[in-house]
């Protein structure tokens, strides 16, 4: 966590999901939601952290609309609007 807060990027990411395409709340969405922190601060943005760890980040064109990525065994959703589709894809994989 401390390395993320300082913006440290490993020379060669060794994370198990390095190179995977995935999504998470975009930095744009987190910036828009910042006012809801109640005086708190964002130590790092999830999108930036994933990219520093070696992820290939994918985002939708319109903030707060659903966006789901599947890469190998990993299923990720960008935001709450993605929840239904994430669930559907998970059920499909479990069949």
The per-residue pLDDT for range 4-36, each reduced to its tens digit, is 666 666 666 678 999 999 999 999 999 888 877
- pLDDT for the residue numbered 9: 63
Q: What is the number of structural domains in the chain?
A: 1
Asked whether residue 2 is domain-assigned, the answer is: no
Segment 67-92 shows an average pLDDT of: 97
Asked whether residue 41 is domain-assigned, the answer is: yes
Asked whether residue 86 is domain-assigned, the answer is: yes
- pLDDT for the residue numbered 8: 66
Asked whether residue 4 is domain-assigned, the answer is: no
Asked whether residue 11 is domain-assigned, the answer is: no
Q: Which of 75, 66, 67, 63 is nearest to 20 (CA)?
A: 75
Asked whether residue 13 is domain-assigned, the answer is: no
Which residues lie closer than 8 Å to 70 by C-beta, 6 or more apart? 89
Domain that holds residue 68: 19-94
Segment 41-68 shows an average pLDDT of: 92
H/E run at residue 22: strand 21-22
Radius of gyration of the chain (CA): 14
Asked whether residue 44 is domain-assigned, the answer is: yes
Asked whether residue 3 is domain-assigned, the answer is: no
């Amino acid at each position: 966590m401390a390395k993320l807060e300082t913006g440290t990027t490993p020379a060669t990411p060794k994370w198990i999901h390095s190179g995977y395409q995935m999504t998470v709340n975009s930095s744009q969405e987190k910036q828009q939601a910042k006012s809801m922190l109640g005086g708190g601060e964002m130590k790092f943005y999830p999108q930036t952290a994933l990219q520093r760890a070696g992820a290939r980040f994918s985002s939708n064109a319109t903030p707060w609309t659903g966006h789901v990525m599947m890469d190998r065994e990993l299923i990720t959703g960008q935001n709450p609007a993605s929840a239904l589709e994430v669930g559907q894809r998970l059920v499909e994989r479990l069949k």
